[in-house]
Chains A and B, each alone.
Chain A
Amino acid sequence: MFEKKIKKVLLIEDDPAMLKILQSHFPGENTEFSIAILPDEGIRKVGESLPDLVILDMMLPGKSGLEILNTIRANSKTKKIPVLVLSIVSEPNTIAKAKKLGIIDYIIKGTISLDELEKRIKDALQ
């Protein structure tokens, strides 16, 4: 009960400014962020560190978020890791595909407030 478990969050995102804002304003002392800028780096880090939550962008250099999600889900070691998508893509098709692969939430960048974003990331970490 007194033991505070540090939650590991992996951000797979290629925009440095976006990474900065996500790291500096989110869930506080019990969270440890790590970063992956490239898709393959992201997939590798998911497998190595088995984070409590992956925050995944949909448009990354060379591979789409859906492909990354697919790879994470295909690996028995990582297939149950919660993934939250944070993307500019609002195409219903993409959202449906992501949901089918099992995600905890899909957030469209720029459509919600910082408060709401924080709340949803915290919820996803529960």
Chain B
Amino acid sequence: MINKNKQKKPLPNHKPEEDKKFLKGNIKHLEPLLASIREAIIITNKNGKILLANPATELITGVLPGDLVGKNISNAISFECTKINPGWFLKEALSGSRVVKLPEECFIVGRDETKTPVMAIGAPLYSPEGEYEGVVFTVHDLIEEVRARNREYEFLSYISHQIRQPLALFRWSIEAMLREKEKLDPRHEDMLHDLYSSSNRFKGFINDLIDISRLQIGKIKFNITEVDIRKIVERAVNETKTIAITHNVTVIQFPEAEPGGFFFVRGDSDRLYDVFLNLITNAILYNRPDGTVTINAKFENEEAIGYLALKGHGGENISEYFQSVPEQKIEKKSFLLVSIVDTGLGIPEEQQNKAFGSFFRGDNVVQKGISGTGLGLFIVKIIVESLGGKIFFQSKENVGTTFYIVFPIV
């Protein structure tokens, strides 16, 4: 069917005879097979001109395969991503150098403006002689997966909200009882204080869960402005003053930066504040007495950051990250690298690959009886990545941990 279309209409653009030869030699006999595959498969030549699209393509793009053939994929199919600029995906795939995967949270925008969440892969296609001929794009419709995931998070959000009501009652009742101290047995008063501080942790946990469910469903709308990281860090350090004093930890801000210098990035200041508050609090709580927390920032190029990222955890796919940053920003020293260095307990080596997972708690920290929900880093990572940044760390037990956050500069 598709083949007929092609034979009727000569392929536009250059070297049609070569494309025909290529099609006939390599793909034609596979068409019945391609027609039965429920994933969209689009084959282009080296320039991105669509040579073939299987029938499943219509389900995702809303366009008949026959109408796609002959057009350039970058005009014919509209990709949209929440976190990155999708342009690099097609460009990188068409360079033919490697298999390229479209990152999470990307969509194909149909003719009727409907957005279908997809997972797409572009893989180079070689002739039997081993010559690079074009690209095979495989596009998988994620709508069911996204729906299932959203149901899960909606459920989580519902439960977390429902817990707020009894939690509020507990807390307000305890507070009311503690107001009448004179009527309380000292033992009971003590218990009520314990109950109240547990309820504090519980409250934090529920708020974290609500945050996560909202971040995951994408319900949090970021308020993006130009933000001075220096100001955000100052605010967070100020907020953690009391715990720094209690734990006897010194917090040093930007020792290497010029006084009065700015570190502007594009981001949501409230959410970035959450990120730094979380990381600085951890760096203090998991430190040793007399320890230090040093926050630094500098402008760096890809090479220097890539080197650091590959040595650390969470930075494994740094090259994909660099590629995903809009092109005009990729030039020398075009990233802001913020580091938060502590002299603390460190993350046990065998657990480092799980540190960004939900409910992660370091064994060494748990043994010391330091409480926490294990959701902080998980939330931090979601926020940083949602704002177009990257986070990774290096850590050594009993020496300390350094968290690095990378942002493309404004």
Contacts and interface: CB of A to CB of B under 8 A. Distances in A.
Interface of A: 15, 17-18, 21, 24-25, 88-93, 108-111, 113-115, 117
Contacts of A89: 161
Given A110-B203, A117-B172, 17 more contacts: A15-B165, A17-B169, A18-B165, A18-B168, A21-B173, A88-B165, A88-B168, A89-B161, A90-B210, A108-B164, A109-B168, A110-B171, A110-B206, A113-B171, A114-B171, A114-B175, A114-B176
Nearest to B174: A114
21 contacts: A17-B169, A18-B165, A21-B172, A24-B176, A25-B172, A88-B162, A88-B168, A89-B161, A90-B161, A91-B219, A92-B220, A108-B164, A109-B164, A110-B164, A110-B165, A110-B167, A111-B207, A113-B175, A114-B172, A114-B175, A115-B175
A90 B162 CA distance: 11
B221 interface: yes
- Of A15, A18, A113, A114, most buried by chain B (CB within 10 Å of CB) is A114
A19 to B, nearest CB: 11
Contacts of A111: 164, 203, 207
Contacts, number: 50
Interface of B: 161-162, 164-165, 167-169, 171-173, 175-176, 179, 203, 206-207, 210, 219-221
Secondary structure at chain B's binding surface: helix, strand, loop or mixed?
A: helix
A109 B167 CA distance: 8
Contacts of A91: 219
A88 B161 contact: yes
Contacts of A92: 219-221
Contacts of B173: 21
Contacts of B165: 15, 18, 88, 109-110
Nearest to B206: A110
A25 B176 contact: yes
A88 B203 CA distance: 12
| Pairs A-B, 9 closest by C-beta atoms | A110-B168, A109-B168, A114-B175, A88-B164, A110-B164, A110-B167, A114-B172, A88-B161, A88-B165
A66 to B, nearest CB: 15
Contacts of B171: 110, 113-114
Contacts of B219: 91-93
Nearest to A22: B172
A90 B161 CA distance: 8
A18 B210 contact: no
A25 B210 CA distance: 29
Nearest to A17: B169
Contacts of B162: 88
A24 B171 CA distance: 15
Nearest to B162: A88
B170 to A, nearest CB: 9
Contacts of A25: 172, 176
A102 to B, nearest CB: 23
Contacts of A110: 164-165, 167-168, 171, 203, 206
Nearest to A117: B172
B82 to A, nearest CB: 18
Nearest to B172: A114
Nearest to A24: B176
Contacts of B206: 110
Contacts of A113: 171, 175
Contacts of A114: 171-172, 175-176, 179
A23 to B, nearest CB: 12
